[in-house]
Amino acid sequence: MKKCKMMHGPAGMTLVELVTGLAILGVLAAIGMPGILGSIQRTGVDGASRRLAEDIRRAQSNALTRGVQARLIVFDKTGVLPTTPTPINDSTKANMYRIEIRSGAAASWPALSDTPGTNANVLTAWSDLGTQYRAVWVDTGNAVLFNSIGGLINTTVPATIVVQGSGGTRSVQTNAIGKATIL
């Protein structure tokens, strides 16, 4: 007697198994997606606040190494720069900031229209946080001023800049000795 061998092809997936697998993947994606999106949004706010803190340190470093006054000026989302005695309003500078220097307390700061190419006291071009960091804006602008030995000479201490976005809010505070801290 000869036994008949049956040939079986490779095992496949049934339609039920395929649909079940896709349903499980859909549920996992639905659970994980908000966390991923929130992380991306927080990254923008965190990155913008870190960049501001670094540029505050850069302004302080320029004051120390050059022996001049330096400042980082930051306009809020509406184009307002709170300063003493009166705020500066320029809607074209909304969410923008730059670093500039002057030789002493009696010297004037560069004009807002000046660029690094037209005025040596303008150290950086205008940086737009709104375009560099998606869905991020400056809620509270400020001018962070340093004297020639790197100490903060703002009338209010700590000097605070608030960055906000869909991923949250961060404050960058500068204390009397010029240390920038992200809160």
Bridge partners (DSSP) listed for residue 160? 173
Mean pLDDT of the chain: 87
pLDDT at 71: 94
When comparing pLDDT for 39 and 166, which is higher? 166
When comparing pLDDT for 8 and 98, which is higher? 98
- Round to the nearest angstrom and report the end-to-end CA distance of the chain: 86
With a threshold of 0.85, does the pTM exceed it? no
Give the residue carrying structure tokens 């896709």. 22
- Record: fold of 15-182: minor pseudopilin epsh fold (3.55.40)
